[in-house]
Structure 1
């Protein structure tokens, strides 16, 4: 009898919140275009970085300088070739990953392994073509997103954090730490804050530093180099910003999986999002 009651309890469907139309077609389309763009920008960017796998602060650079804050190289040792990565003067053996990778019979003496570059072989010219093409697609998509989000209110409603959002950040951090996710009509405080940083800090920064490394842009707008303290500083900031965007993507992907991948993916494909029980229904909800 007890087992039968348990089965009946298990069969009871949990209450569901209303299905709301959360993501506009503009948000969804630009989101997936950015996914493609950032994929090619990242791996073609690593191809470009491998042409000189070091980062500097200031105007000067070169293999003869010792002012690098990051350097990936291969060195001859009594045991054979080894890959080394130096970060702020601290050296680490990164053989097989950075500086030296690939099979022993055909080692790759480059910063990042060929599995992480587009193309997978050394081809700086093709890497630059791919990188610049998707960079302009990325910028155009960002412009479309800003315009559409301003018109439909997505920017004000879901991206720009308000006072109550900032005050709610500590509580939201605590809820995430306890794996308690609230599915609302709009983004939670942490989402708003993180998306605001991405759209208003990281995206503009990676675009401007990319422009600062372009000789054509330098000739027309030399002040871009000056605001970053030199071309090499701009290159370093560009690299660090890219790393922060990769970190954001990894955390974003983890949050999607933990918060419910089906619901989150449905939202970014169809626009419809299942909210938490207790969310007030409105006209147009399902």
Structure 2
């Protein structure tokens, strides 16, 4: 991996470790919100009781821990760059009495597993942040057994994801932010229809398909929405760190007005759109 990609990887690791306390705090809320994408991944993988499964960029443990319940006589390996996130996953596994799993801190571009080790590979909202997405997909294919299945979820296009664009768009109207480099890791990097499916085909996967999932981030009220995003969304926090207190308060009020205008019921249930892509080795 070249120096620039290594720098991106280390930045990602530091960011996710920094935000792991926020993800721990909001874990029940977040996992409930993201569950439809995890369910779609699990359905596509057709988990068998004796399967050995790899869950990549698993963060606080899902969908890997749910998969462990299905692969009851098998094993799930949960990986992430950030040890702080995996500590949350281990705590959750202990609370639920899940023992057929292990966590591994590693880089998706250099998976520390032998060829043809796993029956299935899952990856929920990781691809957008991988420095080299094709290398990541190729590594996933390498560790899959022949005939093994892969399923990954990514965020769709910005227009489908008001839950984050409501804040980021308002920030950009008030603060001059540098434009991200072309192809740099980011929320909507894989959002265009067919993008991740094309990457899977390029990596050598067969029977590739994609499905759109839509729903709501149901916060209940604007204050809870603001708190949640500011404790788990690194891009929001990074952008607001450049604003003084008055500007931040102005942005907050503008966001609330925008959300109320778009969702008059005042329940702050904001739209999301994701894409789940599946394939086979």
TM-score normalized by the length of structure 2: 0.27
Give the structure with the larger strand fraction: 2
Q: Judging by fraction of residues, say which structure has more helix.
A: 1
TM-score by length of 1: 0.26
Flag the structure with more relative contact order, 1 or 2, with Cα contacts below 8 A and sequence separation at least 6.
Answer: 1
